[in-house]
Each structure stands twice: as structure tokens, then as C-alpha cells.
């Protein structure tokens, strides 16, 4: 049987009917063995970030309330899917919640200890994918599908760059090939499904790491590259890759095909449909990426592939919310020189602050970045040691690829433009 990689995001498994629909989709591919990457269910990542926030603030009451709400959400899905309340899945899920609860309680008892945000983030938020895969795997088995759960932390080795870990490709590829080949080569010739958490890995010391927000797409690309599959499919709640997010752009249009190069540009600038790191491993191995709708699985979706000359049918819009525009200038009113820029980028990199847009003049330097707890907690304070710092929060960054003036006018109408930057094919607009 040919092996293919599927990735199901949080929206596809946000309810009991969603989980059932995934099983139905798998049934449409009886001739394929499937490596299935699963994200946290619904808004679980956001909920775990809330638990983390209260944990770090040593607010035990709010933390327990957020924890219980999260647990109730998963148990509600479980009770709908499994009528037999003695099914082992209940004990498996309870074990995971007990592990998370124990971690939080231990940290609360050591409230005086210094907690590094990025490390704590990975230890807490990674539970979302673990909850989801336990439920998904058990449901598939209950449907008669030959499914087995694999722990992504055993397969994907990373460094210790928490919240944005770098993959050890040699170890990871060898481990994935060994485990998957053993599983898929078992005697029975029926379809087999390997269920794996997206987003997470493990460093050499055994600490859980994450691959970046929305990193489950990247997990799928790592698996597809390691197994040399022909294609990888990301199942979304949209018909394919759109020229804009249909949630805010009324007349969004689907792209039937997309070149690797254009997909990389869109992902880098923040298009939510594909994680920025996803494309390169697929391009290197000439693996086609398909983006399809889990609501309408029979429709063709969008194919991302090697296309030398890709024609642009219309402008492509990317919107990023919760942006911060930071403007820096030397305290002595001197010019911004190369050593200043080097110093600024070192500070931003140290705090893992990603620059979305930058612009400089003789005496100032401005960057637009994602709002992040590390920004105000440490990064801005360090920048203020040597620079005058001004910043605006709550902004939006619009990127328009293959823009025309009419597209710019549509976005900027009745808005205050704080920064505008144009190149041949792309315009960035930071708006208040």
C-alpha cells in the first residue's frame, strides 16, 4: 500500500461529530496507509495558554477554573463518542490530565522559583495534542480501523529552542522511517493508520519542545519528507488556499494551484492556512501539498507544487492581528549605524521576537512584531537601556502580494496608516 500523510487541524476535531467525520474521510482512502497528524481540539491551545498565564501569575483559583473548563470540554466529547463508560480511553485521558495537574501543582508549590516562559509554555501547552490523539486513536480503533498511537516526542528530536525548536533531521528521519516501516509492514494488508501529535517534539534531555504556533503543518511536512511520500494533505475548514481569509474578506477566491515559492512567501508573511516552515521540506523532496476541505472532502482543494511560471490571477491579502510597532532611536540623537542594528537584532533574537516588517531612517529604526509576553516582560526593558523606545499596540499588519492601487485603497479606507512599505510585488501596511 502507498503511504500518505494527512494533517487534521483543531477545527476538524473540535467536537464529537468532527472526530466522526475524520474517520469517515479515512474510509475514503482504503488503498492507502495513512500517517495522521492531529492538532489540539478546537481552541484547546488558547485554553492551555490561559492556564499557563494563571500558573505563571500564581493565581491558583483562576488556574483551577481554566483547567476544569478545559477538562470538561474534552470529557463532553468523550462521553458522546463512547457510550461504554468503562472504555480504556477514559482512563488514558484521565492519566494525561493528572500529569498536567501534577505539573501545575508542583510549580505552584515552588512559586518563588524563577520560571522561564518559553520552557513552561512547551511543557503545558503541548498537552493539547496529547489529549486529542488519545481520543482520536481510540475512536478509530472502535470503528474497526487498524490504528496505533505514536508519541511525536519519540520520533521528532529537536534542540532546546523552546517554542520554536529546530529539528535534528538525521535522528528524526531515521527514527520516523524505522517506526513507520515496522508498523506498516506488519502481516495484515488492510489499511493502517499511524496517529501522531502535531506541533511537539523532544530535546536530547527529554524535555518536551514545540515547533512554533500552528506547527502541526510542519510536523506533517517532517513526516512526509522523512518517508518520501508523494503528497501530504492538510484538511481545513476552507475549500483550499484562498486569496484572503474568508472570515473577514467577503469575496475571497480559491487558488486551484500555487507554486512552492508563492506558498513560502504567503506563509512567511503570516497566511494562517500554512505554517511558515512547512513548504521547504516538501519542495526539497518534490512532494505535493494539498489543502482540502474536511467539510467537502470530495472537492479538489488547492495543490502546492513545483511551478516555474505561476500566473497571479488576483491580489493576495494577508492579515495579522495583535501587532506592535516599535520605534527606536539612540539616546544621544546620533545616527542609526550598523552596530546599532546588530545590537537591536541580537536583543530581539535573544527573546525570540520575530520581525514582520522593518524600516529605518537616519536617526530611527522601526519594527512591527507580534505581541508576545516576552516583549513587555523583558525585551522592551532591555532595549530601553540604550535607546529611546516608543511603541503602539493593538495594530494590524496587512500584506498584499501582487498588489494594485485599488487593493491598497480598499484596505486603508478610513484607517490610520502608521507604516507603509512597498517592493515590486508586495506592500506592507501597519494600520491603527
Q: Grid coordinates 483543531 are at which residue?
A: 10
Tell whether 29 and 169 lie within a shared domain.
yes
Number of domains in the chain: 2
Distance CA 312, CA 400 (A): 12
Residue 112: what pLDDT?
66
**Residue 8 maps to which CATH number?**
3.40.1160.10
Residue 231 CB coordination number (10 Å): 17
In the prediction, which pLDDT does 267 show? 85
Q: What is the 3-state secondary structure (H, E, C) of 352-406?
A: CCCEEEEEECCCCEEEEEECCHHHHHHHHHHHCCCEEEEEEEEEEEEEEECCCHH
Please give the DSSP secondary-structure letter assigned to residue 297.
Answer: T
- Examine residue 11 and state whether it is found in any structural domain, yes or no: yes
C-alpha cell of 341?
542594528
Residue 269 forms part of a structural domain: no
Residue 317 C-alpha cell reads as 491579502
List, in order, residues 6 or more apart from 218 with CB less than 8 Å away: 198, 211, 212, 275, 277, 278
Domain membership of residue 289 (yes or no) is no
Same domain, 38 and 179: yes
Answer yes or no: is 253 within a domain.
Answer: no
The answer to whether residues 74 and 170 belong to one domain is yes
- Domain of 65, in residue numbers: 2-229
Same domain (yes/no): 320, 225? no
Q: Which of 184, 201, 229 is the last residue of a domain?
A: 229
The rounded distance, in Å, linking the Cα atoms of 143 and 189 is 18
Per-block mean pLDDT, blocks of 10 residues, the chain (432 long) = 94 97 96 96 96 94 97 98 96 98 86 82 97 98 96 98 96 97 84 96 98 91 97 94 88 91 86 83 94 95 88 88 92 80 88 88 89 82 90 94 93 94 93 94
The answer on 320 and 210 residing in a single domain is no
Would you give the end-to-end CA distance of the chain in angstroms? 53
Does one domain contain both 119 and 222? yes
**334: Cβ contacts below 8 Å, ≥ 6 apart:** 363
Q: Does one domain contain both 337 and 196?
A: no
What per-residue string of b and e applies to 219-230 under the rule 16 or more CB within 10 Å gives b? bbbbbbbbbebe
74 shares its domain with 180: yes
Assess whether 223 and 353 both reside in one domain. no
User: Does residue 343 lie within any of the structural domains?
Assistant: yes
294 belongs to a structural domain: no
The CATH number that applies at residue 372 is 3.30.2130.10
Looking at the structure, tell me whether residues 38 and 185 fall in a common domain: yes
Side-by-side strand order, sheet with 192-197: 146-150, 192-197, 32-38, 2-8, 231-236, 288-293, 302-305, 257-259
| In a shared domain, residues 225 and 324 | no
pLDDT score at 228 = 95
430 contacts 368 by C-beta, under 8 angstroms: yes
- What is the rounded distance in angstroms from the CA atom of residue 383 to the CA atom of residue 344? 7
Let me know if residue 260 belongs to a domain: no
Residue 207 and residue 119 in contact, taking contact as beta carbons nearer than 8 Å: yes
**Global pTM value:** 0.86
Residue 206: inside a domain, yes or no?
Answer: yes
Same domain as 11, residue 119: yes
Choosing from 180, 214, 229, the residue where a domain stops is: 229
Cα separation, 90 vs 81, whole angstroms: 11
Task: Identify the domain boundary among 197, 229, 261.
Answer: 229
Beta carbons of 326 and 379 less than 8 angstroms apart = no
Amino acid at each position: 500500500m502507498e503511504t500518505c500523510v494527512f494533517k487534521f487541524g483543531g477545527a476538524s476535531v473540535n467536537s464529537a461529530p468532527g472526530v466522526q467525520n475524520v474517520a469517515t474521510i479515512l474510509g475514503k482512502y482504503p488503498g492507502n496507509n495513512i500517517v495522521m497528524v492531529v492538532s489540539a481540539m478546537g481552541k484547546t491551545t488558547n485554553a492551555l495558554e490561559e492556564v499557563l498565564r494563571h500558573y505563571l501569575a500564581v493565581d491558583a483559583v483562576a488556574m483551577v477554573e481554566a483547567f476544569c473548563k478545559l477538562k470538561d470540554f474534552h470529557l463532553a466529547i468523550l462521553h458522546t463518542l463512547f457510550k461504554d463508560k468503562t472504555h480504556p480511553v477514559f482512563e488514558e485521558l484521565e492519566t494525561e490530565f493528572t500529569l498536567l495537574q501534577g505539573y501545575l501543582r508542583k510549580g505552584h508549590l515552588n512559586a518563588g522559583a524563577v520560571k522561564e516562559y518559553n520552557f513552561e509554555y512547551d511543557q503545558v501547552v503541548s498537552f493539547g495534542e496529547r489529549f486529542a490523539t488519545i481520543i482520536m486513536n481510540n475512536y478509530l480503533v472502535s470503528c474497526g480501523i487498524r490504528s496505533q498511537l505514536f508519541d511525536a516526542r519519540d520520533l521528532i528530536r529537536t534542540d532546546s529552542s523552546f517554542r520554536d525548536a529546530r529539528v535534528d533531521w538525521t535522528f528524526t528521519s531515521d527514527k520516523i522511517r524505522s517506526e513507520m516501516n515496522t508498523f506498516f509492514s506488519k502481516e495484515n494488508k488492510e489499511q493502517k493508520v499511524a496517529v501522531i501529535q502535531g506541533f511537539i517534539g523532544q530535546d536530547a534531555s527529554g524535555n518536551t519542545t514545540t515547533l512554533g504556533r500552528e506547527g502541526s503543518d510542519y510536523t506533517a511536512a517532517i513526516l512526509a519528507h522523512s518517508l518520501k511520500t508523494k503528497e501530504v494533505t492538510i484538511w481545513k475548514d476552507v475549500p483550499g488556499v484562498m486569496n484572503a481569509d474568508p472570515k473577514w474578506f467577503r469575496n475571497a477566491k480559491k487558488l486551484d494551484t500555487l507554486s512552492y515559492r508563492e506558498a513560502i512567501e504567503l506563509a512567511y508573511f503570516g497566511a494562517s492556512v500554512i505554517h511558515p516552515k512547512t513548504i521547504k521540506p516538501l519542495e526539497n523532496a518534490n512532494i505535493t501539498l494539498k489543502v482540502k476541505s474536511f467539510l467537502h472532502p470530495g472537492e479538489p482543494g488547492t495543490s502546492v507544487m513545483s511551478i516555474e511560471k505561476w500566473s497571479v490571477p488576483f491580489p493576495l491579502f494577508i492579515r495579522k492581528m495583535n501587532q506592535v510597532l516599535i520605534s527606536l532611536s539612540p539616546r544621544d540623537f546620533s545616527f542609526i549605524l550598523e552596530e546599532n542594528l546588530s545590537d537591536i537584532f541580537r536583543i530581539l533574537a535573544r527573546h525570540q521576537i520575530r520581525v514582520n516588517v522593518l524600516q529605518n531612517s537616519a536617526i530611527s529604526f522601526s519594527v512591527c512584531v507580534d505581541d508576545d509576553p516576552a516583549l513587555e516582560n523583558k525585551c522592551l526593558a532591555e532595549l530601553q537601556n540604550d535607546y529611546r523606545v516608543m511603541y503602539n499596540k493593538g495594530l494590524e499588519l496587512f500584506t498584499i502580494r501582487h498588489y494594485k492601487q485599488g487593493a491598497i485603497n480598499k484596505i486603508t479606507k478610513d484607517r490610520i496608516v502608521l507604516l507603509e512599505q512597498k517592493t515590486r510585488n508586495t506592500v506592507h501596511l501597519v494600520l491603527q
